Structure 1
């Protein structure tokens, strides 16, 4: 299984924001930190916002922040949402039956189960398990 760069960056954004939960970071700041295209990251942040993981604001004090605690964000759910438009194999597409084996295929069900198991396994972990704090970030004294 291979995740798209879209999902990879989505997970990175969430991990980075989880490392500074009270902070608001702009798309430009995150893009510079990850050394990726600002436009690509803007699409990722938009998808995370539409899925309810991020709150975004425009303007001088704008940026993105998590909508809920990292402990409440399951990794498998995030991956499933960000990979929703990607199919494992062609026959998983709606109307995708170009394969001549489709009428008698036994592989499709096994692949579907493997994909479900992958998401279920990821859902055993939350974003809190993967928090990223850069070296220059010093958490406040508690």
Structure 2
């Protein structure tokens, strides 16, 4: 299974916000610059994270983004379920047109594999992703050569 760029950037932004040591909110542009990714695309991702309640957006001078809840409460599997279309095949949805759908074993195998994938992700929270906070800070600041 391949995650979309949107989910990849959502995870990166959450990690960025979680490893920041200061109390100042982070801007989309600073996060995009540190990762070397599109600020425009990251702004769309940040809107999704605000709508889902993971991030707060503060307007005005000194504004920016900050985590809306502790990293220990942000489950990776839950985030991926909210940002990804998990219908691997057309037959995973309600409107399957495949004539062998009722007897298809492949569908069951792929569904089981997806469930196992998600079960692993459900076992992790954002705090687990930043246990090496200092190493991540060095790498993201460009000093971790």
Gaps of 5+ in 2: none
Aligned-pair distance for 1:86?
4.9
Q: 1:71, 1:48 → 2: CA distance?
A: 16
Given that 1:31 and 1:37 are in contact with CA atoms closer than 8 Å, whether structure 2 keeps it comes out as yes
Aligned-pair distance for 1:104?
2.2
Q: Which residue in the other structure is 1:129 paired with?
A: 128
Q: RMSD of the alignment, in Å? A: 1.9
Structure number with the higher helix fraction is 2
Listed one character per residue, the Cα deviations across residues 14-66 of structure 1 (whole Å, up to 9, x for unaligned) are 11111126341111111111111112111111111111110112222211110
Equivalent residues, number: 135
Gaps of 5+ in 1: 138-142
Given that 1:25 and 1:63 are in contact with CA atoms closer than 8 Å, whether structure 2 keeps it comes out as yes
TM-score, normalization by structure 1: 0.84
* Residues 1:96 and 2:96 aligned together: yes
Q: Which residue in the other structure is 2:14 paired with?
A: 14
Q: Which residue in the other structure is 1:74 paired with?
A: 75
Cα–Cα, structure 1 residues 86 and 41, in superposed 2: closer, same or farther, change >3 Å?
farther
